[in-house]
Amino acid sequence: MGSTLIEKIISKHAGKPAKAGDVVDMGIDVRVARDFGGANVVKNIEDHGLAIDSPEDTFFTFDCNPTGSDQRYAANQQRIRLFAAKHDIKVYDIPEGIGTHIAVDEGLVGPGSTVVSTDSHANIVGAVGAFGQGMGDQDIAYAFAKGRVWFKVPPTVRVTIEGRRPEGTTAKDITLALVQKIGAGGLLGFAAEVYGEAADAMGLSERITLASMATEMAGIIILFPPNEAVLSELKALTGKTYTAQSADADATYEREIKLDVSDLKPLVSLPGNPENVVALSEVMGTGIHSGFIGSCTNGRYEDMLEAARVLEGRKVAPGVVLKIVPATNRIWRRCLEEGIIKTFKDAGALVGNAGCAGCAAGQVGQNGPGEITVSTGNRNFPGKQGQGKVYLASPGVVAASAVRGMIATPMTVDTDIAARAAEKEAAPPPKPQPVDRPAAPLKVKGRVWVIAEDNIDTDMIYHNRHLAVTEIGEMGNYCFGNLEGWKDFPAKVEPGDLVIVGSNFGCGSSRQHAVDCFKSLGVQAVIARSFGAIYERNAINAGLPIVQGDLAGLKLKNGDVISLDFTSGEVTSEATGKKADVKPFSDVQLEIYKRGGLLSG
């Protein structure tokens, strides 16, 4: 039986055959930490007295807030610089740009390579047939020190994108169509390989757009077997000659997803979740206040060119702010040399330093209460870019909307209409109440909090405006601070409580804070029908007990008391005596839990 592309890559780096479901110890070619996660990586390494395995394969990137506009970011960046100098580690400092794009453009990774990063969109390198995975601070510290990480080989889904896409339909539209088709949890726990006529016609920047949103479908990674055109693009960028990697003809796939784009029209994702996709025509004329063009999804040169063609000779509508941020310094300089930056400035746009920018709400600012934004980013969760509402669309649509002052297409750009919306007061932050987490045995008993919601993402669990916090004791103050109806959770939870949630809990970013905030509050365990892939790793590595299972049959309500056995998976309602089974700890999880965490013991 043949191997999928991800099985081939992992087998090579594990030094033995690896199939879906296997847990392997695999080598990592490139290890990266960003500016906010990097400080915690440094702290973990220093606290545990770890050495650096291979400094020449280890990097820091300052892409979330490359201007250091927040004092904590600035302090964290400086701490990283000093650590990097001490250990001879290269820092892609200001103004180099987004680390995943740098890794591709500088030839740090290529087809068949492996890379891990504190960036949840490290899987963007699937665009070139490489394996990338976003991981938490402890995972990355371990990779820095050992050059390897444990990993469970995911099963693979085959995605076939059929047909020839119509003129005016972009890679962002194809991506949103796929998100719409399979949903926010459609690739939960899976890798995907992409084939088909429309896929083969996609260039590198377009493949990056699709690959970068694997995380928004809960996928491990979306892999494109590179064709000759993409290999040529890579050679032009890096000067390196790569060999194409591909799956075996008799590889086994979990299932096949087909998407026909022959009649695909422009799409937009409504505020709240990337899967809320509708035809652009349904929201045409919706007034906006701001636009953002950039992010790891649409910050390439081709995206800048698409926007410039719309903005050439036109002006951003009065009262509308358009922010544009190329992904890397190389792209920024090319835009400068070719007059694209001038086009942006002449149109009245703000052009920011290369980096993540509006997507991380850290460089060119957030949107305010009641503000309507059209963005090329990959996420539009509530609070992700501020207190306003965010629509996701292609660069051309964002540019046209900024010119018109309302959601528009490049075909309907020549009307100058600006809309307004009423401002709303921002909700106050939750009342701080940090507590210490007691040691947890293999059997626990405690009262429950039942949050009957699916797809609770890491922004809802722990908002990105608090990512500069490095002390676990402080993190509990912000737990569920962006989840409607639960913002007072830190004030009412008590040490020893348990949390019960729905499916795909912890989807979204790789932030360790979304795990550590529960440890800060003394939560004994989190029980979910399923977990986001990165979140699951982070929790296991941090020693936070998480178990997978459905407790609906127990009909629990807030305040009920249950007992839970981590080794057998037996759950008992103390009030009714009814029992249910959840998935017990795996050998790996149990061993790490007993040690007190991946880096302990």
Q: What type of residue sits at position 227?
A: N
- The secondary element (H helix, E strand) that includes residue 539 is helix 533-542
Has residue 417 got a pLDDT over 70?
A: no
Q: What are the chain's domains? A: 5-260 (3.30.499.10), 278-412 (3.30.499.10), 443-595 (3.20.19.10)
| pLDDT at position 428 | 55
Q: Is the pLDDT of residue 587 over 90?
A: yes
Distance CA 546, CA 586 (A): 11
Nearest to 485 by CA among 528, 450, 509: 450
Spatial neighbors of 129 by CB under 8 A, at least 6 apart, are 5, 111, 112, 223, 224, 225, 226, 244, 245
Query: Residue 544: pLDDT above 80?
Result: yes
Copy the structure tokens of residue 471.
Answer: 């002390």
Can you spell out the DSSP letters for 369-435?
TT-EEEE-SS---TTTTBSSEEEE--HHHHHHHHHHTBS--GGG------------PPPPPPPP---
Element (H, E) at 132: strand 131-134
Summarize pLDDT for 27-61 with one digit per residue, the tens: 999 999 998 789 999 999 999 999 999 999 999 99
Average pLDDT, the chain: 92
427 — pLDDT class (breaks 50, 70, 90): very low
pLDDT at 416 over 50: no
Q: What is the DSSP letter of 300?
A: S
At 90-130, the pLDDT tens digits run: 999 988 999 999 999 999 999 999 999 999 999 999 999 99
Pairing of strands 23-27, 148-152: antiparallel
The answer, yes or no, to whether residue 437 has pLDDT greater than 50, is no
Token reading at 229:
């055109």
pLDDT at 440: 58
- pLDDT bin (cut points 50, 70, 90) of residue 545 is very high
Alpha-carbon span 217 to 124, nearest angstrom: 13
The pLDDT value given to residue 383 = 78
409-415's contacts with Cβ under 8 Å and 24+ in sequence apart are 409/168, 409/266, 409/280, 409/284, 410/168, 410/309, 410/310, 411/168, 412/284, 413/310, 413/314, 414/314
Instruction: Reply yes or no on whether the pLDDT at 360 is more than 90.
Output: no
Contacts of 314 (CB under 8 A, 6+ apart): 347, 403, 413, 414
